[in-house]
Structure 1
């Protein structure tokens, strides 16, 4: 059984969602960032942390890649052109979507108040909208980002879409809005979102 450390109101949801998609047993330790439970396994205090055979794996993207490769699901095989395209999409989402939302969060409630720059959000929203147009041009014809197969970047993008709604970053591309609506209705995601109220398996 895997152990996942972190609150679902964070990138921890990405990991729990993948575990639900894969039908794997896990324990969720709903610990806040920088809490003693987190610092004990990750000195940076950041979540999520996946504990595998008493070894912590940090960073949500690294965890998703490990789970996908280890279980041979939600990914294309390493060394294939499809995997290269998948990794390219993953990096694009981290650079253009996740980074903008994280910067906005830092200047909203994470940084000390005297260091916050509220004006930065205007430029971040502009970049976020421009990135949507680029993403839509890269989306496949199937129900998922890469076509007929759900992969790691689908989890990252959907989580960013949910995060954007909370942060009031508009989704301006209809194709992306329709995609997010479909993905948010996945049963595994709904189970993941309810995981803090259950034992996780």
Structure 2
């Protein structure tokens, strides 16, 4: 059985969501970043951490890539054009959408107040808005980023939409991107993830 260490209202959600999609059993040990349980297995103190087969894996995208490759689901084979497109969409989610959200968070509550740059949050919101415009183009006719196939790229981008809602970033109220985010939230595995998070908190 897999074991996840980390607070579920974080990038930990990505790993939980994928494991629910895979139907793979897992144990969740809720723990905030930099806490003793996390630092005991990951000196950086960052979450999520996945324990499997005696190994310690870190970074949500690396973990999801490993799990999808291992189980042969929700990813395309390495060396294919589809995999290259999938990886590009995953990196778009991390670099553009998460980048804006994380920079805003660091300058809102993560960094000490004396080093925060509050004005940068307006830039983050603008970058996120431009990212949503790009997302609409990437989706095309959808229903997912890589056409008919749901992949870990959708998990990363979908997680960013939830993060944006909590951070009160503007999200579309209709149109293709709105419908896409709604489609992701309606997936049974996502619903199961949210129920599991509710139980853990």
Question: What's the TM-score once normalised by structure 2's chain length?
Answer: 0.95
Q: How many residues align?
A: 199
- Provide the rounded CA distance (Å) in 2 between the counterparts of 1:84 and 1:113: 40
Q: Is the 1:30–1:196 Cα contact (8 Å) retained in structure 2?
A: no
Structure 1 residue runs of 5 or longer lacking an equivalent are: none
What's the CA shift for 1:198? 5.3
The question of 1:155 aligning with 2:140 is answered no
- Once the two structures are TM-superposed, the CA of residue 140 in structure 1 deviates from its matched residue by 3.9
> Equivalent residues in 2 for 1:1-201 (5 A)?
1-172=1-172, 174-196=175-197
Give the distance between the partners of 1:11 and 1:118, measured in 2 at CA.
23
The whole-number CA distance in structure 2 between the counterparts of 1:121 and 1:196 is 28
Contact 1:68 1:74 in 2 (8 A): yes
Do the aligned partners of 1:49 and 1:57 also contact (CA within 8 Å) in 2?
yes
CA RMSD of aligned residues (A): 1.4
Structure 1 residues 168 and 5: CA distance shift in structure 2, 3 A: same
CA displacement at 1:74 relative to structure 2: 0.2
Give structure 2 stretches of 5+ with no counterpart.
Answer: none
Residue deviations 1:8-67 (CA, integer Å, cap 9, x gap): 110000000100000001110111111111001100101100111121100000000000
- 8 Å CA contact 2:5–2:38 kept in 1: the answer is yes
- TM-score norm. by structure 1 comes to 0.95
- 1:54-94 deviation per Cα after TM superposition (whole angstroms, max 9, x unaligned): 21100000000000000000001111000010011111111
Larger RCO (CA under 8 A, 6+ residues apart): 1
Structure 1 residue matching 2:41: 3-state secondary structure: coil
